[in-house]
């Protein structure tokens, strides 16, 4: 069956391609895994025993390492995952041993506005249904491990209220004296559920818990997800799990998961989740799917473990960072690479002509309504103006010491003049540029992109971090704000400033990275400011600590850790064929 993206929806292409998928045992054998390193999860899915694989491959040389990022996202889409899959397919067409690594999608966007994150057209990760729903249960494990910490906290608070010190001692407990006003964690669920942002728990009698204000965040924003992304092995995960700060006591001391004696049980939930999931592209190249999305409120990277395996099993390993280079790549650059010890040979910045036009001042895009004429007809003025956003991201990547490749993710409405203009501007600003038609043509359409990536990988680079861990927290924040976001400076609320000073006085703070929380829809903190905003300051309203993951987390603007479900969510179009049991309507 010929797969035609112009006549088929993404889920239809995926369903048709799955009929010819390689069994996971064949995929693993071709990848170079030994039989006992594969943990099959059915005919088409599997996990990889990372301990056995990394032990065996320890002395193998590292592959060329490529990160895929993008310009600032717009409602028109940039196609980052589609490009990642297309690049894997294109390198495969050139005869290269190639592995991809992408993040597992959250149920929140899958059933909401964005949809799944498998790519699109002929550049997808399959099988689509398990990729988008459940997979092998990693996100369920994170949800349960995180909520177990909240169970431990709230039950402990109830018992400390109901029992005196003698009775607590009889039960092997020491009073923690937790401050209900300084509980740092919320519950998690992997949906966009705005009605759960702010709730009251413990209502009822004295045996019904401890009454206090609480709420829910989305699972993929959990510190447990961040730990899955950065942990090097089970020992590292176990140590990190015990450092999670759940609350503070009434004297201002940290109350951790270790204090609640729940860290071991949380790790038990997560042990199997450390093994990366093995899937494949539409064209049969191997793809690891591991850790989660949301680089605006989390680290937003595929796991260190997946990348460490990928660089040992291939000539080229393609990974992906969430959202634009100001968020996803910045965290890849200054956090993930710092912890993994693996540094990139090439960074791909994905852009579309349509998205650049929106950054250039094009009309607002509203779901369900036809696109304005500016997006479907040639408009060089909007493209040139929008390239200011692209230039900002090129400059950010270059500050890491790596030359970027700009991927012009081609769409049928693009004109030759528009493409030539973007290519010219990218090259004038020190990047390589390539047009790719992977959505329409798969690997054959990504040859130019793959060749540009190979060229970039063969060049020497001088990778360096934006800051070292001795840099004081406020100086780090200012460096990121000025050098990456383009801000004129940083402002703090009184609460955030007090926390910043306290962290700077803590000798342990120098061992923690800085994981910014900021809107993904603008280089600034204001999602309505497109292009390359000028003359603004970054407002830090709060600072959180994820000691288990190893992050201090400054929060800029009014971003929420629990997104909301829109009025026309994807779940309205998802169903099951009752004759075949196949899920339809995923996108």
What does the DSSP 8-state code read for residue 301? B
Catalytic residue selected from 69, 72, 82, 110: 82
Nearest to 410 by CA among 377, 439, 372: 439
Catalytic annotation, pick one of 70, 229, 231, 295: 295
Contact 112, 566 (CB under 8 A): yes
Closest CA to 310 of 548, 31, 525, 15: 31
Identified catalytic residue from 111, 288, 333, 439: 439
Q: Rounded distance, CA 221 to CA 215, Å?
A: 13
User: Is 587 a residue of the active site?
Assistant: no
Active-site pick, 339, 411, 503, 551: 411
82 belongs to the catalytic site:
yes
The Cα 223–Cα 55 span in angstroms is: 28
- Residue 502 backbone dihedrals phi, psi, to 5 degrees: -65, -40
The reply to whether 22 belongs to the active site is no
- The set of residues, in sequence order, having a beta carbon less than 8 Å from that of 493 and lying 6+ positions away, is 539, 540, 541, 542
Q: Assign 3-class secondary structure to 459-476.
A: CCCCCCCCCCCCCCHHHH
* Alpha-carbon span 47 to 85, nearest angstrom: 19
**Which residue has tokens 């609480």?**
214
C-alpha count within 13 angstroms, C-beta hemisphere, residue 574 = 18
Contact predicate 394/430, CB 8 Å: yes
Do 438 and 445 contact (CB within 8 A), yes or no? Answer: yes
Q: What's the start-to-end Cα distance of the chain, in Å?
A: 20
Tokens 């993951």 identify what position? 549
- Is 295 a catalytic site residue? yes
In degrees, rounded to 5, the angle at the alpha carbon of residue 576 between the alpha carbons of residues 571 and 581 is: 150
Alpha-carbon distances, residue 535 vs 147, 272, 327, 387, 389 (angstroms): 42, 48, 20, 19, 15
Tokens of 29: 């054998």
Among candidate residues 83, 124, 100, the one with its CA nearest the CA of residue 406: 83
Concerning whether 80 is annotated as a catalytic residue, the answer is: yes
- Between CA 452 and CA 66 the distance in angstroms is 12
Q: What angle do CA 508, 514, 517 make, to 5 degrees?
A: 135
| 114, 336, 441, 474: the active-site residue | 114
- Residue 283 CB contacts under 8 Å (≥ 6 apart), including other chains: 89, 92, 122, 442, 443
Catalytic one of 216, 269, 323, 333? 323
Write down the catalytic residue from 64, 96, 103, 312.
103
Residues 6+ apart with CB under 8 A from 438: 82, 83, 85, 86, 87, 89, 90, 121, 122, 123, 409, 445, 446, 449
Known catalytic residue at 197: no
Check 47, 64, 80, 96 and give the catalytic one: 80
* Chain centroid to CA 233: 20
Catalytic residue IDs? 80, 82, 103, 114, 295, 323, 411, 439
């Amino acid at each position: 069956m010929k797969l035609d993206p112009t006549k088929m929806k993404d889920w239809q292409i995926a369903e048709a391609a799955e009929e010819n998928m390689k069994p996971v045992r064949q995929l693993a054998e071709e990848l170079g895994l030994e039989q006992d390193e594969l943990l099959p999860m059915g005919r088409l899915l599997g996990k990889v025993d990372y301990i056995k694989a990394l032990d065996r491959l320890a002395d193998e040389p590292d592959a060329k390492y490529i990160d895929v990022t993008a310009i600032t996202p717009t409602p028109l889409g940039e196609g980052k995952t589609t490009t990642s899959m297309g690049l894997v397919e294109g390198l495969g067409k050139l005869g290269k041993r190639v592995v991809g690594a992408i993040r597992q999608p959250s149920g929140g966007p899958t059933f909401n506005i964005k949809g799944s994150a498998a790519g699109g057209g002929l550049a997808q990760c399959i099988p689509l249904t398990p990729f988008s729903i459940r997979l092998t249960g990693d996100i369920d494990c994170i949800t349960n491990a995180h909520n177990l910490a909240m169970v431990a906290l709230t039950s402990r608070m109830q018992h400390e209220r109901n029992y005196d010190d003698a009775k607590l001692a009889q039960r092997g407990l020491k009073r923690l004296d937790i401050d209900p006003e300084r509980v740092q964690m919320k519950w998690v669920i992997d949906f966009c559920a705005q009605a759960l942002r702010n709730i009251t728990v413990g209502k009822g009698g004295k045996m019904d818990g401890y009454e206090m204000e609480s709420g829910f965040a989305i699972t993929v924003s959990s510190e447990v997800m961040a730990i899955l992304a950065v942990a090097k092995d089970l020992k590292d995960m176990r140590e990190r799990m015990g450092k999670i700060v759940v609350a503070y006591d009434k004297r201002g001391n940290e109350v951790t998961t270790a204090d609640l004696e729940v860290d071991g049980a949380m790790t038990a939930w997560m042990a199997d989740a450390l093994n990366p999931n093995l899937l494949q592209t539409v064209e049969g190249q191997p793809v690891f799917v591991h850790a989660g999305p949301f680089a605006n409120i989390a680290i937003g990277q595929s796991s260190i473990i997946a990348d460490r395996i990928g660089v040992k099993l291939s000539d080229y390993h393609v990974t992906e960072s969430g959202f634009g280079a100001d968020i996803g790549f910045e965290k890849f650059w200054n956090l993930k690479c710092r912890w993994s010890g693996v540094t990139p040979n090439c960074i791909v910045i994905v852009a579309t002509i349509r998205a650049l036009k929106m950054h250039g001042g094009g009309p607002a895009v509203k779901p369900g309504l036809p696109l304005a004429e500016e997006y479907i007809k040639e408009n060089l003025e909007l493209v040139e103006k929008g390239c200011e956003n692209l230039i900002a991201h090129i400059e950010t990547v270059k500050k890491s010491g790596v030359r970027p490749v700009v991927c012009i993710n081609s769409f049928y409405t693009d004109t030759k003049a528009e493409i030539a203009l973007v290519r010219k501007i990218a090259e004038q600003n020190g990047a390589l540029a390539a047009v790719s038609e992977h959505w329409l043509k798969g690997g054959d359409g990504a040859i130019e992109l793959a060749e540009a990536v190979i060229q970039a990988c063969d060049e020497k680079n001088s990778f360096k971090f934006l800051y070292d861990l001795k840099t004081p927290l406020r100086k780090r924040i200012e460096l990121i704000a000025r050098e990456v976001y383009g801000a004129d400076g940083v402002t703090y609320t009184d609460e955030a400033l007090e926390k910043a000073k306290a962290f700077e006085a803590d000798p342990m703070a120098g061992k923690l990275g800085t994981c910014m929380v900021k809107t993904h829809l603008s280089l600034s903190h204001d999602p309505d400011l497109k292009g390359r905003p000028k003359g603004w300051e970054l407002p830090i309203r709060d600072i959180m600590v994820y000691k288990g993951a190893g992050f201090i987390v400054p929060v800029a603007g009014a971003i929420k850790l629990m997104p909301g479900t829109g009025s026309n969510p994807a779940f309205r179009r998802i169903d099951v064929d009752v004759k075949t049991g196949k899920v339809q309507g995923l996108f």
